[in-house]
Amino acid sequence: MKIQRISDALSIKRTVDGGTNEQLLAVKAIVENVKLDGDAAVKRYTERFDGVVLDSLLVTLDEIDEAYADMEDEMLAIIQEAASNIRSYHEQQLRPSWMTTAENGTILGQKVTPLDSVGVYVPGGTAAYPSSVLMNVIPAQVAGVERIVMVSPPGKNGKVPAAVLVAADMAGVKEIYKVGGAQAIAALAYGTETIKPVDKITGPGNIYVALAKREVYGDVDIDMIAGPSEIAILADSTARANEVAADLLSQAEHDERACSVLVTTCEELAQKVLVEVERQLVELPRRDIAAKAIENFGAIYIAADLNEAVETINQIAPEHLEIITENPMELLGRIRHAGAIFIGRYSSEPVGDYFAGTNHVLPTNGTARFSSPLSVEDFQKKSSVIVYSETALKENGQKIAAFARLEGLEAHARAIEARFK
């Protein structure tokens, strides 16, 4: 990490990992075999990749009970409160079907319908991510999706981590399978004897999961393929260096390729943050990961003024943006591109990762220019509704026929005219 002039800020160029050819071929083979052999293939891959032989893929009610017993009451209450906050926020996103009516009898509208079924992938590995369960399941549930399936790879003990099971149960998931990797994505997309297929698959995963999602996309819908986490902090001289540094490190600990950027109008802050990052870094349990991220994708930029700083942020289009300035609210209207905007000193980014209620699934890698946070709308779709009365068609039929003929589509014109023969 070093201090740079703003002109260097846009040289940061990052790409989403596309996987190797070997990985892609492996994924294609797994998907094909799950299509052919169903449960048998899924169990074979689970034995090979997770090292467990499973009789049954379905998580039982006993396993859920056991998971609750494994958790401390205080932690259960925190997860419950987070779930409740996430639910409240996402309920604000619900939009009704609507229509307009005209005196000639025309009715036009949009009918909003939830997806029939959704599959949520929850990654395994050394840590458990109950927050990921809440962030993917709750918007689907608020949207009205009837069937929400969760899949997560079993650990060596044949179990899914307690915190993940508890979060799923609290969010209302009734169907959980101990399957991970590309085989889980294939099972969700094409179905097996045990797992009925779904219409959309969401949730993060490793490169095999990402490639499998790309592979099945089109047959089912998927959410975005997320890149490594990013934070940009826009700060002036009122920001505290230790807080800014701590927030930069909170993203850096996610991934060696995570990106932490400070854009500031204050050279003194820049110098202090540089020192603080080094000081705090060595005390972190995940310092090896965070150090690589800071070294390769960390940067501090000095802007001449807030205008230049804001323009730089818009060009970066970061996943997470913190604004820690004297009057942060007055900058909100000028931020055009950011996944989530955290305003003021007390809105530290982890507030949004876990608890405030906003979604932590956000556009990365500059895609905030055209993409949005995961939302209720990702689990609904719309149908246009058109009602034309006899009067309306009499009024407009000849115009419609003329337009069709202009495009050389005679059968379109005749379909209209058939009504008046």
Residues 10-49 touching a second copy, rule: CB under 8 A, are 16
- CA nearest 279: which of 316, 309, 249? 249
The secondary structure element, H or E, covering residue 78 is helix 73-91
Residue at token pair 């293939």: 41
Q: Kindly provide the b/e burial profile for residues 40-69, where b requires at least 16 CB atoms within 10 angstroms of the residue's own CB.
A: ebbbbbbeeebebebeebebeeebbeebee
Q: Where are the alpha helices (DSSP H) in 100-152?
A: 130-143
Contact between 68 and a second copy (CB under 8 A)? no
320 labeled binding residue: yes
* Closer of 23 and 106 to a second copy (Cβ): 106
- Rounded to the nearest whole angstrom, what is the least distance from the CB of residue 357 to a second copy in the complex? 6
Please select the residue that binds a second copy; options are 120, 331, 362, 364, rule is CB under 8 A.
Answer: 362
* Closer of 157 and 408 to a second copy (Cβ): 408
As beta bridge partners, residue 230 has 259
251 labeled binding residue: yes
CA angle 205, 145, 149 (to 5 degrees): 40
183 labeled binding residue: yes
Positions marked catalytic? 319-320
Please select the residue that binds a second copy; options are 4, 206, 296, 371, rule is CB under 8 A.
Answer: 371
121 labeled binding residue: yes
83, 113 Cβ separation under 8 angstroms: no
Measure the CA–CA gap between 304 and 7, rounded to whole angstroms. Answer: 11
- Residue type at position 108: L
Please select the residue that binds a second copy; options are 2, 48, 95, 174, rule is CB under 8 A.
Answer: 95
- Rounded to the nearest whole angstrom, what is the least distance from the CB of residue 171 to a second copy in the complex? 15
Please select the residue that binds a second copy; options are 55, 62, 73, 74, rule is CB under 8 A.
Answer: 74
Sign of the dihedral through C-alpha 388, 394, 396, 400: positive
203: left (phi over 0), alpha (psi -120 to 50) or beta: left
Positions in 167-196 near a second copy (CB under 8 A): none
Contact between 159 and a second copy (CB under 8 A)? no
- CA nearest 375: which of 389, 390, 357? 357
Please select the residue that binds a second copy; options are 4, 108, 196, 296, rule is CB under 8 A.
Answer: 108
* Closer of 34 and 252 to a second copy (Cβ): 252
As beta bridge partners, residue 220 has 217
315 labeled binding residue: no
* Closer of 43 and 161 to a second copy (Cβ): 161
Contact between 348 and a second copy (CB under 8 A)? yes
Please select the residue that binds a second copy; options are 2, 111, 174, 279, rule is CB under 8 A.
Answer: 111
Measure the CA–CA gap between 230 and 257, rounded to whole angstroms. Answer: 9
93 labeled binding residue: no
Q: Where are the alpha helices (DSSP H) in 127-200?
A: 130-143, 162-171, 181-190
* Closer of 13 and 55 to a second copy (Cβ): 13
- CB atoms under 10 Å from CB of 402, counted, come to 11
Q: With CB under 8 A, what is the number of residues at the site for a second copy? A: 120
337 labeled binding residue: no
Positions in 380-399 near a second copy (CB under 8 A): 381-390, 392-393, 396, 399
Please select the residue that binds a second copy; options are 220, 261, 269, 306, rule is CB under 8 A.
Answer: 220
Please select the residue that binds a second copy; options are 25, 29, 75, 275, rule is CB under 8 A.
Answer: 75
- Rounded to the nearest whole angstrom, what is the least distance from the CB of residue 35 to a second copy in the complex? 14
* Closer of 7 and 100 to a second copy (Cβ): 100
Please report, in range form, the residues annotated as the binding site for Zn(2+).
Answer: 251, 254, 353, 412
